[in-house]
Amino acid sequence: MKIKRHRAAYAILAAGALVLAGCGTDQNTPQGGGNPALDNLQVECGTKDLSAEGSSAQKNAMDLFARDYGQKCEGQTVNYTKSGSGKGVAGFTAGQIDFGGSDSPLSVEDGEVAKAAERCGGNPAWNIPMVFGPVAMAYNLPGVDNLVLNPDLIRKIYMGEIKTWDDPAIKALNPDANLPSIPVVPYYRSDESGTTSNFQKYLSTATNGAFSGEGKIFQGGPGIGQGRDGSDQVAQSVEATEGGITYVEWSFARNLGLGVAKLDSGSGPVELNTKTVGKAIDEAQISGEGHDLRVNLESIYGNQDAGVYPLVLNTYELVCSKGYDPETAKSVKAFLKVAANADPAQLEEAGYVALPENFKKRVLDAVNAIS
């Protein structure tokens, strides 16, 4: 294993932007004095302080966005409460907040699209995919620094079909690795988790349905693995367990110095980094119409192109296309423009990936169309 990195304690500089965060954060937020990309960014700042609520997965990105927004639009604030995607959707459709944060787009079947249109004065709401965070297959395996896994191996681990690290199926993909004969100890989220939902969608897509689990509750093999509450707990459990493995947001794996497996989707092993994740985002298909930018996750999770790391979680900002009062519309647009231009290095430090240029253009086209 690589030497563990020192566990950094990061702080956000308020710089005029106060963020109210309900229950704290899930990931580390990087220290930073500002974003040089803001110097030449043209925005029309409104006078309305914004309120938002929802997905915990994007909370630390929202901290960065809010800091930058407070610097660009002096004195303006965004109060983002980390309460979960369900409350973000409910608060937005009820008109209690200016925009919502969600791990999933608004649902037609559950009536969310209709409720959101009513909240927006009869105008459609748009799903804006603003935050992308890679999910790492993090492991603790002494002497193995370059583990390669593929979707079928991950499926077999989480269905209990592979029980030791020197299993022939793992050896076949890692012929030069000194794989120890110790038990595979899978950890999973025991709480309801957007990360679990995306992980299960990835496995189902990438194995052509061989993995059938779905939703925010983990559904692996009977009696398989050990559940832990929260991303910090699964990561710390792997750190403490030789032979441990889990799916967890990138920042947790990096901060604890855990091994991060390369993924082989059929075109060779791919390392998790900003370039390989950016390629996955850039090649994603949009299933929504017009400026409703619903990401077709199957186009990411099933991408077998060389150099693509496909295990990515994306979250949305839920906004009205029309229906805001003029000052709120200005503030929402200004904030989202600032967010789309976040500093890539600071996003990476917090465990996210900046929007690739072509994808960012689509996002900004949608933001500019808000009225």
CATH code for the domain in which residue 173 is found: 3.40.190.10
Q: Is the dihedral of CA 340, 56, 288, 155 positive or negative?
A: positive
Domain-located, residue 201: yes
Domain-located, residue 214: yes
Total domain count, the chain: 1
Domain-located, residue 280: no
Give the helix ranges, DSSP H, for 215-319: 231-239, 250-255, 274-282, 297-301
Domain-located, residue 146: yes
91-104 pLDDT per residue, tens? 999 999 999 999 89
39-67 pLDDT per residue, tens? 889 999 999 999 999 998 899 999 999 99
- The CA distance from 333 to 116, in Å, is 18
Q: What was the pLDDT predicted at 193?
A: 85
Q: What was the pLDDT predicted at 33?
A: 60
By residue range, what is the domain housing residue 195?
Answer: 135-275
Contact 274, 348 (CB under 8 A): yes
Cross-strand pairs, 320: 125
Q: Band the pLDDT of 36: cuts 50, 70, 90.
A: confident
Residue 151 tokens, joined: 């979707």
Domain-located, residue 85: no
Q: Does the pLDDT value for residue 180 go beyond 60? A: yes
Domain-located, residue 266: yes
* Residue 366, phi then psi, degrees to nearest 5: -65, -45
Domain-located, residue 238: yes
Contact 66, 80 (CB under 8 A): yes
Domain-located, residue 197: yes
Whole-model pTM: value is: 0.85
Question: Percent helix, strand, coil in the chain (nearest 5)?
Answer: 35, 20, 50
18-30 pLDDT per residue, tens? 333 333 334 454 4
